[in-house]
Structure 1
Amino acid sequence: MDKEGIIQKLQEKVVALLTENPSHFLVDIRIKPTNNFKIFIDGDNGVGIDDLVKYNRALYKQIEEEGLFPEGDFSLEVSSAGLDEPLKLHRQYVKNTGRHVEVIQSDGQKTEGVLLSVNDAAIVVEAISGHGKKMEKTEHTILLETIKTTKIQIKF
């Protein structure tokens, strides 16, 4: 089976597993040449380690039972979409409303600020420049189709 076929099969299995908890959703599946599968799951209210372990065990068992890799030459990692992973889905943008983000658009333009809102076509980011009395807040509306990456920024 080719790489795309394997991803499709894994995607179907993961989505079926997630139906028992509708607040969890599949973000991404990546395969390394060594048959190392990385599956990223997120949740509207986050996803706990116990749930990730449960999904990993169930998926691993299904892969073995179906004999997708008869030689047993695969590894499986199921994890949450961490802060270092870019936002990919509309649902992730909604979940992270109110947080600091860095948005890089396809043309290379970078915008940093607070994610104020999300709709089906665009996001609104409030950037702050200057300090004290010279502080200015500017709202930037960025079309989703122009976004290359959006990452959460941790501010202390």
Structure 2
Amino acid sequence: MSKNVTEITEELVIPIAEEMNLELVDIEFKKEGKNWFLRVFLDKPEGIDIEECGQVSEMLSEKLDEIDPIDMPYFLEVSSPGAERPLKTKEDFMRHTGKHIYVKLYEPIENEKEFEGTLVQFENDTAMIEIRVKSRKKQLEVPFDKIAKANLAVTFN
């Protein structure tokens, strides 16, 4: 079976990111309107700047041109994941303990499939999330394998 565009891109960008002490957060290849976009999201603890995005874009673009895995016109975008960065791995959850997150589940817990709250802890493959139910706070245990999608959530106080 042949590798898809995101798998090939991941193999090409990881050595570049590691050399620059950057973390690969996500890759997406999707059509918007009539155009295709290959988006690579990178980060580091103190945040990534536009110069670093430009450097990675140039190096990755050269590598993509060499092997030419995409047989259609597309736009390459390299950027920060932004304030609502996705949480994909167990390490992401451990690193973002104490942060406000949004979680969507594969199957309901207490009749709900979506929660927003504070990630209190992550251990034994389970996220402990403090949510608000009306005026009181409640802690909810969410197994990692039930999480379909999760990301940091911006709160306005």
Label 1:95 to 1:52 Cα distance change in 2 as closer, same or farther (>3 A). farther
Counterpart secondary structure, 1:107: strand
Deviations 1:81-109 (A, max 9, x none): 22345322223323322121122211242
- 1:16 maps to what in 2? 15
Alpha-carbon contact 1:44-1:95 (below 8 Å) kept: no
- Which AA in structure 2 matches 1:146? K
- 1:74 maps to what in 2? 74
- 2:102 maps to what in 1? 102
State whether structure 2 residue 86 is matched by structure 1 residue 86. yes
Alpha-carbon contact 1:106-1:146 (below 8 Å) kept: yes
State whether structure 2 residue 42 is matched by structure 1 residue 46. no
- Which AA in structure 1 matches 2:12? K
Counterpart secondary structure, 1:19: helix
**Matches of 1:116 and 1:67 in 2, distance apart?**
44
Q: Percent identity between the aligned chains?
A: 23
Gaps of 5+ in 1: none
Counterpart secondary structure, 1:155: coil
Alpha-carbon contact 1:104-1:111 (below 8 Å) kept: yes
Alpha-carbon contact 2:86-2:150 (below 8 Å) kept: yes
Worse-superposed segment, 72-81 or 97-106: 72-81
Label 1:96 to 1:46 Cα distance change in 2 as closer, same or farther (>3 A). farther
Label 1:138 to 1:145 Cα distance change in 2 as closer, same or farther (>3 A). same
Counterpart secondary structure, 2:19: coil
Label 1:119 to 1:51 Cα distance change in 2 as closer, same or farther (>3 A). farther
Counterpart secondary structure, 2:107: coil
- Which AA in structure 2 matches 1:147? I
Taking structure 2 as the reference length, the TM-score comes to 0.77
Shift of 1:35: 4.8
**Matches of 1:47 and 1:31 in 2, distance apart?**
21
- Which AA in structure 2 matches 1:42? D
Number of aligned residue pairs: 149
Alpha-carbon contact 2:5-2:29 (below 8 Å) kept: no
More strand by percentage: 2
- 1:28 maps to what in 2? 26
Label 1:115 to 1:54 Cα distance change in 2 as closer, same or farther (>3 A). same
**Matches of 1:91 and 1:43 in 2, distance apart?**
14
User: Which structure is larger by alpha-carbon Rg, 1 or 2?
Assistant: 1
Question: Which of 105, 115, 139 is 1:111 aligned to?
Answer: 115
